[in-house]
Structure 1
Amino acid sequence: MPANVEIKASVRDVMQLKLRAEELSGSEGTVVRQRDTFFGVQKGRLKVRDFMDGSGQLIFYERPDFDGPKLSNYSISPTNDPEGLTKVLSDALGLVGQVKKERRLYMVGQTRVHVDTVEGLGDFMELEVVMKENQSTEEGVAIAHKLMQDLGVNDGDLIEGAYMDLLLIKRKCHNGHI
């Protein structure tokens, strides 16, 4: 199963982060609009990523929920019918929720740097160090920490969990359950 080391952080100054990411990647990045629909599963997370252009991906992943660098194992299968697949999986497994975001993707070495604007949450940065065969988790963590420093991201900005988790917590708070 492919793996990557991930870091997710909230962003205080999105323009400054984009400038640093542009400098490090040597590009203006690529804008990607996504709607991720999550389904009820016994372990890990299962989602359909709809690129809203008729293409998408079915993604299963497992990773621990703590802030800082973490190893994520994943499987991806492309689909030409993300809406149909979403309907079938919703009927079969139950819908957990949706995350809508605009993502700017920069490549820095073996790392995908995402600057995300998430509907209902705000601005975030996500690093995905794509692990090479026989590369240790410790090497991936070191790459992530160095890039965090280069991008000006502080340990205090790190968040745990997925955007879906943050949206569910926000919904509970808004409904007065917490």
Structure 2
Amino acid sequence: MYADISIKAHCASPSEAESTLLQHKADYVGLDMQTDTFYETELGKLKHRQGNIENVQMHYKREISGGMQKTEVLLYLKNPSPATVAQICDGKQILAQVKKLRKIFFIDNVKFHIDHLEGSGHFIEIEAIDLEGSLGINVLRQQCSYYKELLQLADEDLINDSYVDL
């Protein structure tokens, strides 16, 4: 079963974070210009992401524990058609939109985002992903902790809020 543990933090030096990732052989996927549209929902968050790399329709909820976020994905559609987005979102109120520039990196199963939100600054996100359920939550937590230390993210820089909540 899919599992996802993540850490998000303010990032004082995005170039230093990027350099550290590349020194540790991270694969750079590219720069994505993303617009996330959030819709009303009774549980969690319903989001349509439009970017030049990532395009998804997603319904999820997050639990926060020890500075880490565990994500339970209820719906995940890659490259949804306009008809699918309309079927899911029509009639729902748009709550907010978040626009960001996102540099995407991978080291094995761990995805890194170095984000810039206009007016809010730079952020980094570490997302340890277990697509098949073969690694387990404890391994994902250990991976997040390891990369948090490697990237020298201080506890006071961690944020638990979604960008839409900032």
TM (normalized to structure 2)?
0.87
In the alignment, which residue of structure 2 is the partner of 1:80?
Answer: 81
Which string of whole-angstrom CA distances, capped at 9 and with x for unpartnered residues, describes residues 101-137 of structure 1? Answer: 1111110121001100112311000111002514332
1:16-31 alignment runs, 5 A limit: 16-31=16-31
Percent identity between the aligned chains? Answer: 23
Are residues 28 and 57 of structure 1, via their aligned partners in 2, closer, same or farther at CA, if it must alter by over 3 Å? closer
Are residues 122 and 114 of structure 1, via their aligned partners in 2, closer, same or farther at CA, if it must alter by over 3 Å? same
CA contact (8 A) 1:39 1:96 kept: yes
In the alignment, which residue of structure 1 is the partner of 2:35?
Answer: 35
- Note the C-alpha offset of 1:7: 0.5
In the alignment, which residue of structure 1 is the partner of 2:161?
Answer: 161
1:117-132 alignment runs, 5 A limit: 117-131=116-130, 132=132
- Give aligned pairs, total: 163
Are residues 26 and 77 of structure 1, via their aligned partners in 2, closer, same or farther at CA, if it must alter by over 3 Å? closer
Give me the CA root mean square deviation. 2.4
Unpaired segments ≥5 residues, structure 2: none
Are residues 77 and 31 of structure 1, via their aligned partners in 2, closer, same or farther at CA, if it must alter by over 3 Å? same
**Aligned-partner Cα distance in 2 for 1:86–1:92:** 9
Unpaired segments ≥5 residues, structure 1: 167-178
CA contact (8 A) 2:112 2:124 kept: yes
In the alignment, which residue of structure 2 is the partner of 1:94?
Answer: 93
CA contact (8 A) 1:112 1:128 kept: yes
Matched, 1:152 2:147: no
CA contact (8 A) 2:7 2:126 kept: yes
**Aligned-partner Cα distance in 1 for 2:115–2:97:** 15
CA contact (8 A) 2:3 2:133 kept: no
Deviating more after overlay: 65-74 vs 107-116: 65-74
1:40-55 alignment runs, 5 A limit: 40-51=40-51
Matched, 1:56 2:61: no
Deviating more after overlay: 37-46 vs 149-158: 149-158
Which string of whole-angstrom CA distances, capped at 9 and with x for unpartnered residues, describes residues 46-65 of structure 1? Answer: 01001158x83211111025
Which structure has more helix as a fraction of its residues? 1
CA contact (8 A) 2:105 2:112 kept: yes
Which string of whole-angstrom CA distances, capped at 9 and with x for unpartnered residues, describes residues 46-89 of structure 1? Answer: 01001158x8321111102566112111131131339x836972
**Aligned-partner Cα distance in 2 for 1:161–1:67:** 14
Are residues 85 and 27 of structure 1, via their aligned partners in 2, closer, same or farther at CA, if it must alter by over 3 Å? closer
